[in-house]
Each structure stands twice: as structure tokens, then as C-alpha cells.
Amino acid sequence: MTGYLCLRNVVKSYDGKINAVDDVSIDVARGEFVTFLGPSGSGKTTTLLMIAGFETPSSGVIELGGRDLALSKPYQRNIGMVFQNYALFPHMTALANVLFPLKMRRFPSGEIAPRAAKMLALVGLSQFADRYPRELSGGQQQRVALARGLVFNPDVVLLDEPLGALDKNLREQMQVEIKRIHRELGVTMIYVTHDQTEAMTMSDRVAVFANGRLAQVGSPIEVYNRPISRFVGEFIGDSNFFAGTIDRARPGVADLNGIGRVRISPKNTLTGEVDIMIRPERLQPTHMVDAVDANEFAMTVDETINYGDSILVIGTTGGQPLRARLVGTRPDMQRPGASLRLAWAPADAHVLPRR
């Protein structure tokens, strides 16, 4: 894919010895919503800051619409930035905060007020235009910051963990709002977070960072169901991993340590030492698995976590740790020491090479 925003072999080192960002290449299409996801220190925010111009790459190229951004100062890049701490001017009203970037960019005076008012309306804050940041809730302040980052028609909007300071319910509301605004405006957005739920629910694609490098780039469903490494499988969502081997002569069968022989997809092409990943929600009571070749086994319950509509059962099978997310709250699922008969379909196993 030829991108609108292109990063080519981008490297950033602060000391000349260790690379905070190490050979990152990615193409982002115009109008796409891409999330940089990874643990703290993985390089995602540093990459974002290099796109914005607040950090300079040690090597590599960053282009926007075919233009080398290294030739532009941050204020010349037409890139909007939304920070976690809002960064609003406390002495300015909500409207004045949104007006500010238009004045700095010398928009025609007749356009400034209508454009700012339209953007406040887009984020649902028209009635709060005359309030100061201290008079607004955290969610309202974040909406003002978003309006300010969008008001000057940026080519790209960069959002650096913008919802990290909000409580769970408000964070979910803002996720919906940001996606709505993205759909309405069609602007290219790069979103940085360590929150898997945000990445999975908001993104067109997810770029998973690890140790300064891109571990995987793909759609949310792709990186969840088909991670290319154990790190990605463990970082995104809950997972079970079983070590085992696959004989070249029997690609549809795996021998798992402590568990024995199980059926996997006959389309599997990996052989030798492997890791088999099975998501907890794929493990279900035997009568609920509609597959004639399902793998059945007994699970010994150690403890459970009740989520109301489902429970996470934590235990063992064949001496191997196991986690299963089951619908319902039957007493026999929650009693420590209880034995459950569970099953999973061969197609639900994802095979990874052992590294």
C-alpha cells in the first residue's frame, strides 16, 4: 500500500547506543485511523513525536503526501496534536482555546469565529463556549482539546493517550465520540495508547510496538486472532499458550506437553516445536462446541472471577495453566477443586513457531 503518511526505516537514539525507535516502517492511508499500541517504553510515543516534529529522527524518512517532513518545522507541518493532559490555556475560554490555532496560522478574520463555533458544535460543546477549563469536566476539557486539534483542517491528527486521565465510563463515551468525528471529517488519525480495548474498538489498523520495533501491523481482528508472535498474542487480550510439537507427516495434529495429542486446523503448515494459542472465550462446555472433531478435556478449577454476564475460570489441565471465559455463573463452575468438561474446535487454535 502506498501511504499518505509514510515512515521508512525510522530510527531514534538519544545516546547513540540504544535505539528508542528501531527501524520502523509503516504506510498510513489518507483518512485511516491507525493506533500505535504497546507497553511503556516500546517507542510508540517517540514515533508520534517524530511525526509531529517535536523529535528529530536519527535516521530514516517521514513523508506526508509525498513531502519530506524533515524539511518542515513542527508549526509548518499542518498536523494537529491532542495530548493526555489536554494542554489547554487556563486563562482562555473554551472558544478562545479553539480560536487560538486559527489566529496563529493567520486564517482570514471572517472565517475564524464561524469555524471555531462549528468545531465546538461538532464536539457537543456549543453551550460551554464561554467557560474556562477549570469550569469544565475532564471529558469536556478533552473535547475542547480535540476541537482545537481539528479546527484548522490538519492533514493528520496525532492523539497521545488522550483518554488516559478519564474514568472508565467517560473513556468509553469519548472513544465513541472520537470515532464519530473521524467518520464525519475523514481526517487521518494516529492514536497512541497502551489500552488494548481502545485499540481494538477504535482502529482501522493496529501497529503493535515492542522494544522500539513494530511487532505486527494489521486489523484489530487480525492481530487478535492471528498474532505473528507470542508477544503480540500475550499483550493483546487474554490467552492460553501450550508448548508442543507437530510432525511434518501429520500437519493437522499437535502433541502438547502435559496434554497429549490434539487436533488443529489441517491447513496448518508449521512443523517442529510450536506454541499453540487458544483464547479463553474459545474454551466452552463440551455441549456448546459445535464441531465433530472438537478436542475435549477436563479442567480443574482453582479460582474464578465473576464479571456478571460471564466468569473467568482459572485452573489447570494436564498440569498446564488454563483460563476459560464461560457464559453464565453456574455454581459448579465456581467451586475450587471442581472438574469441568471443556472443548475447543481445531480451527480455534493458532499455531506459532517456538522462539
Query: Model confidence over 142-182: pLDDT tens digits?
Result: 999 999 999 999 999 999 998 887 888 888 888 998 999 99
Does residue 200 sit in the same domain as residue 53?
yes
Does residue 340 sit in the same domain as residue 207?
no
Task: Check residue 228 and give its pLDDT.
Answer: 95
DSSP line for 33-93: EEEEE--TTSSHHHHHHHHHTSS--SEEEEEETTEEGGGS-GGGS-EEEE-TT----TTS-
List CB contacts of 110: < 8 A, sequence separation 6 or more.
none
Domain final position from 206, 237, 268: 237
Q: Domain of 341: which CATH number?
A: 2.40.50.140
Computed from CA positions of residues 279, 285, 286, 287, in that sequence, does the dihedral angle turn out positive or negative?
A: negative
Does residue 325 sit in the same domain as residue 276?
yes
Segments forming the whole domain that contains residue 7: 1-78+194-237
Task: Check residue 1 and give its pLDDT.
Answer: 43
Task: Check residue 167 and give its pLDDT.
Answer: 82
Task: Check residue 292 and give its pLDDT.
Answer: 81
In a domain, 102, yes or no: no
Domain final position from 184, 204, 237: 237
Does residue 201 sit in the same domain as residue 331?
no
Does residue 73 sit in the same domain as residue 204?
yes
- Its pTM stands at 0.91
Tell me the mean pLDDT per 10 residues along the chain, length 355.
86 94 97 96 96 96 94 90 87 95 91 93 94 93 93 94 83 89 94 92 96 97 95 94 93 92 91 95 88 90 88 93 84 77 93 90
Task: Check residue 98 and give its pLDDT.
Answer: 96
In eight-state DSSP terms, residue 166 is S
Does residue 198 sit in the same domain as residue 74?
yes
In a domain, 51, yes or no: yes
The order of strands in the sheet holding 67-68 is: 19-28, 5-13, 59-64, 67-68
Task: Check residue 329 and give its pLDDT.
Answer: 61
In a domain, 132, yes or no: no
Task: Check residue 214 and give its pLDDT.
Answer: 98
Does residue 232 sit in the same domain as residue 277?
no
Q: Closest Cα partner for 223 from 197, 243, 244, 205?
A: 205
